[in-house]
Chains A and B, each alone.
Chain A
Amino acid sequence: MSMVESASIGIPGVCPVGPDSLTGISRQQTNATRWNGANWRDFAIAIRERGIELREALTSTGIFATDAGGTAYGLAHGVVAARSAAQIAQLLKTAQAHQVPVTVRGGGLTTEGESVAFGGVLLDMTGMSRVIAIDAAALQVRTEAGIFWHSLAEELRRYGLDYLSAPLNLTSSVGGTLGVGGIDVNSARLGCSADQALALQVVTPTGEIVECSDTENPQLFRRVILGYGQFGVITEATLKIRPYTPLKMHYFHYDSLRPAIEDLQLLDRNDASDYSGILTIMDCAVNLLVAFDSAEREAAFKADWLPRLRGHGEFGFALCMLRRYAARPWKLAEAWYLWQRKRDLFPELQRPEYMRDGAMLDRTVVFSRAVWKFWGGRQMVIPDLATSAPKFVAAVERGNAVCRKYFPRYTLYCVGIKLRPDHRAHYEMSCIPADAEGWAYGCEFEPVVGKAIYSRDHFQAFKNAIYDIGVELGASYYRFGGMMKGYIRRVFGDAVVDRQLALKRQADPAMILNRDVIF
C-alpha cells in the first residue's frame, strides 16, 4: 500500500517524518526519541467519533511540511483545523489518552522547525481568526488567537484603533507571538507583544479550558506567556490596544555598527522616540530608524536629541561612502551591491500608496512586504542574540564577524525591548536574558541567500557559531527551539531547565503538546 493510500484511510505505515527527509520521499524514522506512529489508527477513529474533522491526505499534510525557515521538513499524520476551544479540548484529551503528539501552528513563521509536525496531529490555528469584541472605551480587544496580526489590524483600523506592538510580519499569529515574545520597532517603549496580553483563554495539554490573567490563574498565565507552546494552546486573547496614528519616519545612516547601537540605546534610555531600530546592509550601511506618533514628540526629538546623534543624512552618508571606497578600490563590488540594494529597498519603504503627508500609514504592511521581497525565499536562517543592554554591542560585533565569515551578503536587525518588572516571572527561560534590567536588546543575523545554494550543514554551522557567542556572553535567543534546542541547557543551565521540565511533565503527562520543540 502506498503512503498516500495508507494515509487516506488512517492506517499508519512507516512513519514518513524524518526531519532530514527530502520533500515527497518517505523514509524510515530513525530518530528513536521521535514518536513512531504508535496508536495512530485508534486515535484517528476516536477523534472522528468525537465529530472532529481529521485530514490525512497528502494534499492536507503537505501544505504544512515545512515552516518559514524551509530547512526542517516533516509530515503530520493528520491535520485538524482549529474551530473552537471545545474542539481543541476534545483533541487534546484524546491525544493524551492515545499518546499522540500535537503540534500547534499559527502563521508557521518559525525557522527552526518548531511549527513543523514530525508525525502526529498538526493543529492549524488559523481556523480561529475571529475578532470577538472591541472595547474602544477601555482600549481592549478580545480575539481568537489564530488570527494574524494583520487581520486584527484590519478590523481595528475600521474603528480608528491599532494594536500596540507586533512582529513586523503580516502573517504572524497572535497566539504564536504571545508564546514566544514578538518584537516591533516600538518594543523599546511598549515592550514585547507578549507583554500586552491582559488575559487568555487557554486549553491545557490535558484538555481543560481555562481563563487566565495576572489575577486569575496567574501561574498558568505566567507559564503560557513566553512559554513556547508547552503549557497550553492559546485560543483567545484580550489585548491592550491604542488609537491609531500614522508615523513620521526618519533614517540616520552610519558606516559602522557601534555608534549606531550606542545612539539607539541613548534614544531608548531617554524615551526620545516612539519607534527605534537598526536595519543594516551588511555592516557598511547601518540605518538607524527613528519614528514618531505625533508632531510634538518629533519636535522634541529634533530639539533635544537629533544634535547628539552621530548618523548622517543621505548626502553626508554618500560622501562617507565615497571616501571609504575611494580608499579601498578592491571593494568596489561591495560598494556596487550597497548602492543597488539601497536603490531597490528604500523606495519600497516609501511607496506613495502607503504614505500620506509624509507619514507612513501602515508600518507593518510596508516593512513586511519589503522583508519578504528582499529577504524572503524558500530557505531562511535567522539566528539571533538577545542580551542585556551593556552586552549588546559586543554581541552584535561578534555576530557580525560570524556573518562576514559565512556569507557575502547579510542584514542585521536590532531592537530594544522594554521589560515589565511585574512580568519578570514570565521571562524565565525565554528570549529575555536573565541579567537584563530595564531593556533587553535583540539582534537578528540574516544572510541574504538570494539564488545561492547552501547546504544545511553550512546553515547549521553558521547558526551554531552565532549561538556559541550567546553561551559565552550569557545571553538568550528569540529562537531556541526546534533545531537549536541543543543550546537550551547550555544557555539557561540545568536548574532552570529541569524546573521547567518538571512543570511540563506535571501539566502534560504524555508530553504530547509541541513535543520536541523545547524539551
Chain B
Amino acid sequence: MRLCDVEVELLSHREARTRDRVDVAAIFAEHHVGLVRLALIMVGDQATAEDVVQDAFARTHAGRSRLRDPGKALVYVRSAVLNGCRSVLRRRATVFRRAVPYEPPVWSAESAALVGEERRQVLIALSALPPRQREALTLRYYLDLTDQEIAETMGISGGTARSTIARGLAALGRALGEAL
C-alpha cells in the first residue's frame, strides 16, 4: 500500500468518526493533568485521584457514542470525575467508620506535603463542608467556571449553583472566623 493511499484511507475514516461522535479519548488526553488536579482537590491523594479519572475515562469511553455535542464534552467528562470523587468520599466515609486507616489528604498535618498552615486551614474547612457546597466552590474558585458551567457540570440549575456557592462561602467564612 502506498503511503498516500493510507493517508487518504485514514482521513476519510477519521472524518466519518468525528462527524458522529466526540473523541472522549482526546479530551481526556488533553485534560488529563487538569482532571487529576481537580480530583486531587476533592479526594486529597494522588493515587485515588488518578484512579477516579481513569474510572471516569473508562465509563465515558463506553458511552461515547451517546455523546454528540463537542461543546458539552468537557462538561460531561468533568461531571464524570466529580461523580467518581463523590463515590470515593462516600466509600471512604464508610471505611472510616470501620476505623480502617486511609491515605490522609496531601495537605493534612500528618502528610509530608508542603502546604502553608494558612492554606491548610482553608482546605480542611473546605473538606468539612457538605459535598455539594465543596464541589461548587472548587469549580468556581479552582476552575473559574461560570454559574451556568457549574450548574451543567453538577447537574443542577443555575439558581441552585449560585445559592450553593453563596451558602458555601458563608459557611467557609464562619469556619475560618472571618466576616464576609
| A and B are interacting partners | no
